[in-house]
Amino acid sequence: MKAACFLALVFACFGSATAAQRPPNLVFILTDNQGAWTLGCYGNPDIRTPHIDKLAAEGIRFTHALSSNPVCSPTRATFLTGLIPSQHGVHSFLDPKFMMGPEAYNTLQEFTSLGEVLRDAGYTCGLSGKWHLGANMTPSEGFTTWTTKPDGSTREFYDQQIIEDGQLRNEPGYTTDLWTRKGVEFIQQHKDRPFFLYLAYNGPYSLGKLMLNEAKNRHAAYYADKPLHSFPRDAMHPWQHANKEFHNTDAGRRRMAAEVSGVDDGVGEIMAALKANGLDDNTLVIYSSDQGWMGGQNGMWGMGDHFRPTGAHELMMQIPLIFRQPGQIPSAQTCDALVSNYDILPSVLGHLGLAEKMPEQPKSPGRDFSPALRGEKLTNWDNTLFYEMETTRAIRTERWKFVSRFPDGPFELYDMQSDPQERFNQFGQPGTDEIKAGLAKQLDAFFTQYADPKYDIWKGGGSKAKLHTK
């Protein structure tokens, strides 16, 4: 009897130790073309996002997170590799021929990405949603579960083609719900071992002809008569190149709002699934978007590549960034540090205890902000970020932003403290020459240090995606 009790105690202790030593799961929720300003937790009074707001209330919300590019393929590559476009070579959205067909290939194949690091650390990795990084039919980058889209753009959210189990099929329903459902299934199937779910929504999207169509999801009726005053009514900016037909339209505003709330529903279902399976405390949940988006501010609608010259406005860059893990990340925190999506990989690995697994070549410009997740102050943090979109580059410091376009401009210089909406371009104004020169020197030094000559467009390098701007 004593021996049986002793063995039971040993097994109980062993089981507890094993559970305690299990690495945290990771759920990375990434949306498509969503400015931080569209969420309640970032101050939006019109759009209903209770589940995302709760995520922020129970974790940490970064108030100045910016993407390093304004287009989906480059930014998704940066999130997964910690590299900037001039390193990974994906400078713009990927041509469909590289996603399906005889020319399809994985644009990240020569790099070590987040899924591969976690796979090698014992995680099961699953993708549900948009890939848009090439060879879409075939699981890659450490993922073994793979449900995705055959392309990158979104023409609609209903009756669309998807890729599942290596086959192309038609999905008659709401694809936002499909990605959520597949995410919940992945959680249930892999709850007994460490997992990484990359839930990459193609919503809210907010681009193209679909913005002229009425929403059909469960939020459509609610927004059908709402004025949505959080969307400014500025006159169209002279640089606006695309999206003119739904600029400042009620149809566009309401469709965007409904799709944001549709994604929020999915976040709620994912969080409920984690709780139902006893995984709530041992799962790091991240919510972000591939790049920012403008819905009328300064007369602009869309992302950087929808303007000529290519835009580098703050709201084209500003993304939501929320981390939540009860017991590890204190609740109701905000962090005002300037952080970029190239900082995500080292910070996630730092939080998961895998900092030594950060790929060393090519050297990422990313910094580890994981101490902030624990409620610690970031010491010696440099509030300087860099951005590029083909021939447009920018540097953002705590006070200034300088935008340079190769080879001959136009150039922009903004005092982000006195003019946060970037209404007054100070480039060429008296007394700014020294400021501009210093920022230009920093910008050049950054790309000299990190850009791969093969992909440095400013110095004759190429792109894995077709160049769209001059």
Decide if 417 is inside a domain. no
- Is the predicted pLDDT of residue 285 greater than 80, yes or no? yes
Q: Does 470 fall in a domain?
A: no
Burial 374-394 (b: 16+ CB within 10 A, else e): eeeebeeeeebbbbbbbbbbb
pTM of the model as a whole: 0.95
Select from 27, 55, 33 the least CA-distant residue to 114. 27
Whether 393 shows a pLDDT value over 70: the answer reads yes
pLDDT in tens, 128-157: 999 999 999 999 999 999 999 999 999 999
Q: Is 435 among the domain residues?
A: no
Write out the two tokens for 155: 């023409």
CA atoms within 13 A on the CB side of 329: 31
Query: Is the model more confident about 7 or about 207?
Result: 207
pLDDT at 466: 76
Kindly give, in sequence order, each residue whose CB lies less than 8 Å from that of residue 351, ignoring residues fewer than 6 positions away.
24, 284, 323, 325, 328, 370, 373
- Residue-wise pLDDT for 92-134, tens only, equals 999 999 999 999 999 999 999 999 999 999 999 999 999 999 9
Amino acid at 69: N
Beta-bridge partner residues of 204? 32
pLDDT in tens, 5-59: 433 333 333 333 344 578 999 999 999 999 999 999 999 999 999 999 999 999 9
Cβ within 8 Å of residue 134, ≥6 positions away: 94, 98, 99, 104, 105, 106, 107, 108
Asked, for residue 298, whether it belongs to a domain, the answer is yes
| End-to-end alpha carbon distance in the chain | 82
Taking Cα atoms as reference points, which of 321, 226, 370 lies closest to residue 29?
Answer: 321
The residue whose two tokens read 């039919």 is 137
**Does 241 map to a domain?**
yes
Three-class DSSP category at 251:
helix
**Model confidence over 51-67: pLDDT tens digits?**
999 999 999 999 999 99
CATH of residue 205's domain is 3.40.720.10
Is 394 domain-assigned? no
Let me know if residue 222 belongs to a domain.
yes
H runs (alpha helix) in 310-432: 314-317, 344-351, 370-373
> Quick one: pLDDT at residue 127?
98
Asked, for residue 206, whether it belongs to a domain, the answer is: yes
Across the range 262-268, mean pLDDT stands at 98
Name the domain count of the chain: 1
Q: Which of 364, 451, 434, 365 is nearest to 400 (CA)?
A: 434
Q: What is the per-residue pLDDT for 124?
A: 98
Contact residues for 6 (Cβ-Cβ < 8 A; gap 6+): none
CB 394 within 8 A of CB 312: yes
- Domain span at residue 210? 23-383
pLDDT on residue 208: 86
Estimate the crossing angle of helix 250-276 against helix 50-57, to 10 degrees: 50
The token duo for 180 is 């959520």
Work out the percent of the chain whose per-residue pLDDT is above 70.
95
